[in-house]
Amino acid sequence: MRAVIDEQRPRLSTARAGVERWLLLTASIALALLVLTFSAATFSGEPMKPSCCAVLELRQYTLHPGKRDVLIDLFEREFLESQEALGMHVVGQFRVAGDPDRFVWLRGFRDMPARAEALTAFYGGPVWQAHRNTANPTMIDASNVLLLRPMREGLGFAETAGRPAAGAKTLPAGRIGATVYMLRGPVDSALASLFDNEMKPALMEVGAMPIAVFQTEYAANNFPRLPIREGEHALVWFARFDDAAAYAAFQRRLKQSNRWNHNVLPALFKRLAASPQDLLLEPAARSSLR
């Protein structure tokens, strides 16, 4: 019996060694896949962040001359906490460089049903009722509104840490650049690939790192009291700059970029329904996005 066991021991050792080699190989492959996945995410530059909002309104208001500061003062005093208490997220509110009669703000929602519920509560509630007769006369047009969603998961605006306290008046030096492309058709996989593989790298090469990328949300407007632009297709990206000079330098470098001029513009222009709209947004004193 002992002789039989001794005879089988080399075979058992060989089998055990084979199992150990198999386990080591499996572990090595798993580790390699994990590293590659992390490296790909890091290389792509995708924002690995929770998004504040699955639905976003990009609201551009044309105001009566001299009324922008009136609206911003009212907005920052009365319309920030009161909206967010009802589940909305006011991402940011801005002056527009070079256009003294334009006010732009971004408002987000968890989803479309939450949008309908929150807007109904706010515009039917006491805060808006108390201040609408001050807000509305500042506006010539408030219908230039794009309803958007992140181009894909992870490309929305990150949750913010908060905003300056009520009464703050100091204006931040930082600027937000936004570019709006109105398209002939919806954003498809080919355009998303163009953005990932050519547009975004070209922007980064000349000093702009997109912090959020959106496309049209095609759900029906579930609060018709506030009109939105329907039947249109948009792609919108946002980037943060240290100041107005940094944004101007970015624009100069972009115009000189071989990659942008040769790889991006020819493919992009085929899809455009109108000239791109470039917005240099100046955050108001209490803007979360700055």
- Show the 3-state SS of 232-258: CEEEEEEEEECCHHHHHHHHHHHHHCH
Q: Could you write out the DSSP letters of every residue in 11-53?
A: HHHHHHHHHHHHHHHHHHHHHHHHHHHHHHHHHHT---S-BS-
157 or 6, higher pLDDT: 157
Diameter of the chain measured on Cα atoms: 104
Q: Is the Cβ–Cβ distance between 152 and 192 less than 8 Å?
A: yes
* 40 within a domain of the structure (yes/no): no
Q: What confidence tier does 111 reach under pLDDT thresholds 50, 70, 90? A: very high
- What residues make up the domain containing 275? 55-157+175-283
* 103 within a domain of the structure (yes/no): yes
31 pLDDT more than 90? no
Would you say the pTM of this structure is higher than 0.85? no
82 pLDDT more than 60? yes
Q: What confidence tier does 3 reach under pLDDT thresholds 50, 70, 90? A: very low
* 289 within a domain of the structure (yes/no): no
* 28 within a domain of the structure (yes/no): no
Both tokens of 74, joined, read 């009212």
Axis-axis angle for helices 126-135, 68-78 (nearest 10): 170
pLDDT tens digits along 257-281: 999 999 999 999 999 999 999 999 9
Domain count, the chain: 1
- Tracing tokens 């240099």 back to the chain, one arrives at 280
Mean pLDDT of 6-29: 49
* 251 within a domain of the structure (yes/no): yes
Mean pLDDT of 249-253: 98
Closest to 219 measured CA to CA, from 149, 123, 289: 149
* 2 within a domain of the structure (yes/no): no
Instruction: Report angle CA 47, 105, 88 to the nearest 5 degrees.
Output: 75
* 163 within a domain of the structure (yes/no): no
Closest to 109 measured CA to CA, from 232, 219, 236, 235: 219
- Residue 14 CA to residue 30 CA, distance in Å, equals 24
Q: Which amino acid makes up residue 182? A: M
The CB density around residue 77, as the number of other CB atoms within 10 Å, is 14
Q: What confidence tier does 42 reach under pLDDT thresholds 50, 70, 90? A: very low
Residues 6+ apart with CB under 8 A from 206: 250, 253, 254, 257, 260
* 166 within a domain of the structure (yes/no): no
The CATH number of whichever domain residue 97 belongs to comes to 3.30.70.100
Mean pLDDT across the chain, nearest whole number? 88
